A and B are shown apart, each in its own frame.
Chain A
Amino acid sequence: MPQHRWDDDEKLLADLADALRPVTPLANRVAEQAGGALAWRTVDADLQLATLSFDSATEPVGSSRDANGGNRVLVFHCSPLSVEVELQGDRLLGQLVPGSSGEVTLEAADGTQVRARADEMGFFLVAAMPSGAIRLQCETATAKLVTAWFQP
Chain B
Amino acid sequence: MVDDINISISTLVTAAAGGDQAAWNDIVGRYSPLLVAVLRQCRLSSADTEDVAQTVWLRLVEHLETLRQAKALPSWIVTTARREAWRQAAAGRRVLARDPGTGEWARLAADVDAPEDTVLVAERQQALLSGLAELGGRDRELLLLFLEDPPPSYAAISRRTGIPIGGIGPTRARALAKLRRTTAMQNFRASETDRPETTTGAMR
Report which A residues bind B (CB closer than 8 A). Answer: 1-7, 9, 12-13, 15-24, 26-31, 33-35, 37-38, 40-43, 49, 55, 57-58, 61, 70, 72, 109, 132-133, 135, 148-151
**Residue in A12, A57, A133 whose CB lies within 8 Å of B179:** A12
Contact B132 A16 (CB under 8 A): yes
Those 6 A-B pairs whose CB atoms lie nearest each other, nearest first: A57-B91, A31-B32, A149-B58, A27-B32, A34-B28, A34-B57
B128: chain A residues at CB < 8 Å are 15-16, 19-20
Tell me whether A149 and B59 are in contact (CB under 8 A).
yes
The residues of A that contact B141 with a CB separation of less than 8 Å are: none
Given A9-B172, A20-B147, A41-B64, A31 and B54 touching (CB < 8 A)? no
Interface 9-residue window, one of B33-41, B67-75, B154-162: B33-41
Q: List 20 A-B contacts (CB under 8 A).
A: A4-B199, A7-B180, A16-B128, A17-B147, A17-B149, A20-B129, A20-B147, A23-B37, A30-B28, A31-B28, A34-B28, A37-B54, A43-B19, A61-B99, A132-B51, A133-B54, A148-B62, A149-B58, A151-B51, A151-B84
Name B109's closest neighbour in chain A (CB-CB).
A58
Q: Is the interface of A mostly helix, strand, loop or mixed?
A: helix
B199 touches A2 (CB 8 A): yes
Q: Which residues of B contact A (CB under 8 A)?
A: 16-17, 19, 21, 24-25, 28-29, 32-33, 35-37, 40, 46, 49-55, 57-62, 64, 84, 86-88, 90-91, 94, 97-100, 105, 124-125, 128-129, 132, 143-144, 146-147, 149, 172-173, 176, 179-180, 185, 189, 193, 199-204
Q: Given A40-B58, A57-B91, A58-B90, output 13 extra A-B contacts at Cβ < 8 Å.
A: A4-B199, A4-B200, A9-B172, A22-B40, A23-B33, A23-B40, A23-B129, A24-B33, A30-B28, A33-B53, A38-B16, A41-B17, A41-B64
Cβ–Cβ contact B149 & A21, under 8 A? yes
B55's partner among A41, A42, A150 (CB-CB below 8 A) is A150
Asked if residues B125 and A57 are in contact (CB atoms below 8 Å), the reply is no
A38 touches B32 (CB 8 A): no
Evaluate contact between A151 and B91: CB separation under 8 angstroms: yes
Chain A positions within 8 Å of B84 at CB level? 151
Judge whether B51 and A34 touch: CB under 8 Å: no
Question: How far, in Å, is A125 (CB) from chain B's closest CB?
Answer: 21
B53 touches A30 (CB 8 A): yes
B203 touches A26 (CB 8 A): no
Nearest-neighbor residue (CB-CB) of B33 within chain A: A27
Q: Is the CB of B54 within 8 A of A20?
A: no
Indicate which residue in A3, A16, A33 contacts B143 across the interface (CB closer than 8 Å). A16
CA–CA, A72 to B37, complex, Å?
28
Residues on B with beta carbons closer than 8 Å to the beta carbon of A7:
180
Are A20 and B61 touching (Cβ within 8 A)? no
Is there contact, CB below 8 Å, between A2 and B50? no
